Amino acid sequence: MENDLRGRNRFGQFGAYVPLNLVRKLAKSNPDALALYNVLKAKNGSGSTFFIANGMADTAIAMKRKVLARARQDLIAEGPVEVIHPARWRRPALYRWPKPRQPRALREKKRERENVR
């Protein structure tokens, strides 16, 4: 109740969690990629698929198209964004957040169960 009155209750609100190590890395090396990542993260949940179209430079983020395209490529190269389908004639590329890796012990148990069958 107290958080509601002070405006701190964020339940049901959109936003983004960005890992601190990614913020530190991109803030120093590529602030444009960090800005694009923040906009994408705020609008797309963990299981989402989404577009990163050059037209976003005009509407969603204050970046020139070439800067946005370079930031997109850098996010793909760094790993926080994965390409599901590359762009094709009249079809934009489709992206997603990488799936979290399971700990090694869980992966090994899964392999053991598959080998028993």
Q: Is the pLDDT higher at 50 or at 4? A: 50
Instruction: Give the separation between CA 32 and CA 14, rounded to whole angstroms.
Output: 22
Contact 44, 51 (CB under 8 A): no
Contact 52, 93 (CB under 8 A): yes
Q: What is residue 50's predicted lDDT score, i.e. its pLDDT?
A: 95
Instruction: Examine the pLDDT at 110 and tell me if it is beyond 80.
Output: no
Specify the 3-state DSSP secondary structure of 85: strand
Q: What is the CATH number of domain 14-116?
A: 1.10.10
Q: What share of the chain is helix, strand, coil (3-state, %, to 5)?
A: 50, 10, 40
List, for residues 12-69, the tens digit of each pLDDT value: 666 778 888 889 999 999 999 999 999 999 999 888 999 999 989 989 999 999 999 9
